[in-house]
Amino acid sequence: MVGQVKLAIFASGTGTNFQALHDAVLQRQLPAEIVRLVVDKADAGALHLAKLFGVPAMVIRYADYDSKSLAELAIIKQLHEDEVDGILLAGYMRILTPTLTAAFPGRIVNLHPAMLPKFPGRQSILDAYEAGVTETGVTVHFVDDGIDTGQVIAQQSVPRLPQDTLADLEARIHKVEHVLYPDTLEHLLKEGVFSK
């Protein structure tokens, strides 16, 4: 569609948030088009979903490049060819360098399974669980050059019940993610955040 915001999704795992975002686009909650999936693992489950959805996918093998920045330049080249307006990180387990963040300033959004600034990093659900908290949550935030330090856009708390296993807590967090991320992006799109 003419004037439609074009988004790229970055994922490393099964792609459940990719699925939630794709569903939100199909249901017209998100007035946008997902034009590219970027994954850093050739066996990422998200690739199967991309094929199912007809979304072009790029597998970036960081080991094939002399530096992380060079790998990101290859990603940027592809995204520019796709005319991407913004990037949505959905379980992408890599820290972005200034090479990529500078190419899309203020137009990269991440979903984090904790109430930032608490429990940043890769194992946030496990960290919260092992800390014995009674409440954790989900954060949607802009990506900057730090590790989960960008401006918070939205948060929702998630209780940890006394009988919870780690899997119980993970499932409850993911359920919140699949609603909070599309809802937050809906507001960002209305505000024109991804407009160049």
Please give the backbone phi and psi of residue 111, each rounded to the nearest 5 degrees, phi first.
Answer: -110, 125
How many CA atoms within 13 Å lie on the side-chain side of 73?
7
Say how many residues make up the chain: 196
What angle do the packed helices 124-131 and 166-190 form, to 10 degrees?
130
36 is in an annotated binding site: no
What value, to the nearest 5°, has the Cα angle with vertex 53 and ends 51 and 56? Answer: 55
Q: Is 7 helix (H, G, I), strand (E, B) or coil?
A: strand
96 is in an annotated binding site: yes
149 is in an annotated binding site: no
Strand-pairing partners, residue 38, are 10, 58
94 is in an annotated binding site: yes
Residues 6+ apart with CB under 8 A from 187: 154
61 is in an annotated binding site: no
- CA–CA dist 142, 149 (Å, integer): 8
15 is in an annotated binding site: yes
17 is in an annotated binding site: yes
Strand-pairing partners, residue 158, are 136
How many CA atoms within 13 Å lie on the side-chain side of 110?
27
What value, to the nearest 5°, has the Cα angle with vertex 34 and ends 48 and 93? Answer: 60
60 is in an annotated binding site: no
Active site residue 178: no
Catalytic pick from 22, 48, 80, 112?
112
Binding-site positions for (6R)-10-formyltetrahydrofolate read 93-96, 110
| Residues annotated catalytic, as ranges | 112
Binding-site positions read 15-17, 93-96, 110
